[in-house]
Structure 1
């Protein structure tokens, strides 16, 4: 019994003492609104995105310090809680001591035996249940995914991303070491241990090759490329990619054909949920063009757009995104010559429909232009696009 009580207090102190350095007000509002309507919600997101900090901040801001039970299986170093019965007994001990308990927060619980039986029990009770992690899926229960945002200092974000405290570290070497630690922690705990990946080096090879990809590709094409250096089945490779998607490391973006007005399922493109993680995989040597493209994905993803890569005839478009009735296209120009840029503008103008179109160009290129708006096509820098998202969309 004493061990259980120690573990209860350890978890409670952990979540109450944790501090956040980011503005989480929008997520806290979303969680509270969901809890007012639902008995159970799921909070997901890539490791180190700040899920625990958001929960700790929410508990304090909503003044429920005397009304919650919190358990994070990662804090159970002695493996006291092995199955659903152990965790149920732990909850009952706290509830018997504190009759005000209304909210049950459970984090990283996928390795607890028969955990779904406990979730069903809690769902039938009077508690509000908040599950935190990427591995528990419940039919008809929508996730609140904590996503990366883009900061004002875009040059930092492009190279180093925004996981944990990365943005706030000023020393470049510290940033790189910190991101490497995050990457190793994700690969070890979330992939090797939780997903039981047998060959972590092979997984690392696959995810690193995804970081290099500059075009849409089918899984069979990608598999043939992997097979050149390592013998792996298509099924295993697909499993490894799916593990990365489940853990919110990457997202698969489908291909939209403007000519046929259909989604093409034979090819996809993969984007990383954090630029620093992607760049870290290949020792911070990715091209600015690829990293800039990934930043635009992060921006669209954070703002909850349905995102596609697009094609109109032979012209490939980086992003076609939809939210509610709004449609936008964001294309990143590789051109510096104004005549070539105008050719891209004309290609964008040929895409029919009520779609706002942005052509991203570098600052140095824009300074030499007299006009930046051509009908529904507007030329912007990445900084200007971010500002538009914060003020207009």
Structure 2
């Protein structure tokens, strides 16, 4: 309203429109009140069903993952599911700290103030559900969450999300004293991709999935150049905001070059010493500790994942060499595609992500001089997996099956490939076409 056109009758409205009312308008824009339905995106039922199973208690539900993997949509989908199951929309409060409308929330006291505005202005009785997106951007957020998650006089159930090292398991254990359950959110799976693109599950669609990217917003972009710019912007934002600024990085160029190195060596065994020597051979003076710290910062942002080596015979994890995998192949496909990087490596990366997406802890296995691509465990289930581009002849098949045949226990053993036909079982080792892997995990 133009304040210069105010009359005596609307004077109060013009000049007494309080700060509280402005904040309430921001809340109304993004909440489900008064028939409003915020954007929900593609239904990610694999996550929402799993998270919904943990509702109805005081555990804090924590969604973690790289920026732009769809955590916000999943939070809103959970809120919608609560409403569909009978929760009054006014009993749900959703805040996304990345929206400029919530720039006024800088610390937990501001967050408490927003909650008080909500309670005062919105008539809602009974248990309330609080959703706070990208909560790591609120200083001291854990004070707010710990207080209200355990409030027996005024019950709340809390769902939060975050994207950086403040949301790592070790940090959360300290901040939330064990009163939480964590869900790591990944880019779209192949099954989700096929749903978004409305294509059949097949080798052809899997190869298209492999050669593109799986971050949700990519699918609304019109061409490859736009997608490349989008991926570059995400990478730059994560490196700058979540690492360089947060950790006062002295050599930002080295940080990015390490990221490029990890992308181009994904699925390969590497060591910190190897990386130090690589940069020294290119006249870049650095140290073991610097490289180690920078890699730790990158993995904390979920851009890259580390798979430690596991001694299959000794049943123990090993230090030294390990493998790194990209959180999404779009970083390779759109930003650094000029470097040699075979389909077999991309397939291995996708197998790793599918295992993690399905809740497995994943290691790279060693058995004497032999290497097993993956040792995956979830509860009582243990699977040994080999990933191979193709098995065109007996010699190649023997090479890929040999490490699994050398394992002398009776756990599941799988070989994953892109072959057009499914091979028969070989000494109990099952062959699985890559696009069918999700169905057996």
Q: TM over 0.5, yes or no?
A: yes
Q: Which one of the candidate residues 137, 145, 162 is aligned to 1:133?
A: 162
Q: Which residue of 2 aligns with 1:57?
A: 77
CA-atom RMSD, angstroms? 2.7
Q: Which residue of 1 aligns with 2:197?
A: none
| TM-aligned CA deviation for residue 313 of structure 1 | 1.8
Q: Which residue of 2 aligns with 1:380?
A: 432
Instruction: Give the SS at the match of 2:331.
Output: helix
Instruction: Give the SS at the match of 1:253.
Output: strand
Q: Which one of the candidate residues 273, 287, 294 is aligned to 2:349?
A: 294
Q: Which one of the candidate residues 252, 255, 261 is aligned to 1:203?
A: 255
Q: 1:343 to 1:282 in 2, by over 3 A?
A: closer
Check conservation: 1:70, 1:104, Cα contact below 8 A.
yes
Distance 1:4 1:242 in 2: 42
Check conservation: 1:333, 1:341, Cα contact below 8 A.
no
The yes-or-no answer on 1:260 pairing with 2:260 is no
Distance 2:94 2:245 in 1: 23
| TM-aligned CA deviation for residue 182 of structure 1 | 3.2
Distance 2:289 2:26 in 1: 42
The yes-or-no answer on 1:96 pairing with 2:136 is no
Q: Which residue of 2 aligns with 1:14?
A: 30
Instruction: Give the SS at the match of 1:74.
Output: coil
Check conservation: 2:372, 2:386, Cα contact below 8 A.
yes
For residues 201-257 of structure 1, what are the alpha-carbon distances to aligned partners after superposition, in whole Å with 9 as ceiling and x for unaligned? 221111110112253233233233334443334333323222222222122111112
The yes-or-no answer on 1:74 pairing with 2:90 is no
Q: 1:111 to 1:48 in 2, by over 3 A?
A: closer
Q: Which residue of 2 aligns with 1:221?
A: 274
For residues 164-190 of structure 1, what are the alpha-carbon distances to aligned partners after superposition, in whole Å with 9 as ceiling and x for unaligned? 233566744444344333333433443
- Please give the residue correspondences for 1:1-393 in structure 2 after superposition, counting only pairs within 5 Å: 2-14=18-30, 16=32, 17-63=37-83, 64-76=88-100, 79-100=103-124, 102-125=128-151, 126-134=155-163, 135-136=166-167, 137=172, 138-140=176-178, 141-148=180-187, 149-150=189-190, 151-152=193-194, 153-167=205-219, 171-213=223-265, 214-229=267-282, 230-283=284-337, 285=339, 286-333=341-388, 336-363=392-419, 366=421, 372-384=424-436, 386=437, 389-390=438-439, 392-393=440-441
| TM-aligned CA deviation for residue 308 of structure 1 | 0.8
Distance 1:306 1:78 in 2: 36
Check conservation: 2:105, 2:111, Cα contact below 8 A.
yes
Moved over 6 A (4+): none
Work out the number of aligned pairs and report it. 385
| TM-aligned CA deviation for residue 52 of structure 1 | 0.6
Check conservation: 1:43, 1:131, Cα contact below 8 A.
yes
Distance 1:41 1:18 in 2: 21
Distance 1:360 1:46 in 2: 27
Check conservation: 1:7, 1:76, Cα contact below 8 A.
no
Q: Which residue of 1 aligns with 2:4?
A: none
Check conservation: 1:15, 1:52, Cα contact below 8 A.
no
| TM-aligned CA deviation for residue 91 of structure 1 | 1.3
Q: 1:167 to 1:321 in 2, by over 3 A?
A: farther
- The structure with the largest alpha-carbon Rg is 2
Instruction: Give the SS at the match of 2:322.
Output: strand
Distance 1:298 1:336 in 2: 25
Distance 2:255 2:129 in 1: 38
Distance 2:208 2:41 in 1: 17
Q: 1:195 to 1:119 in 2, by over 3 A?
A: farther
Check conservation: 2:26, 2:102, Cα contact below 8 A.
no
Check conservation: 1:160, 1:275, Cα contact below 8 A.
yes
Check conservation: 1:253, 1:308, Cα contact below 8 A.
yes
Instruction: Give the SS at the match of 1:363.
Output: coil
Distance 2:131 2:398 in 1: 54
Q: When the two structures are superposed, what TM-score results if normalisation uses the length of structure 2? A: 0.78
Consecutive unaligned residues in structure 2, runs of 5 or more: 1-16, 195-204
Distance 1:46 1:89 in 2: 29
Q: 1:336 to 1:169 in 2, by over 3 A?
A: farther
Q: When the two structures are superposed, what TM-score results if normalisation uses the length of structure 1? A: 0.87
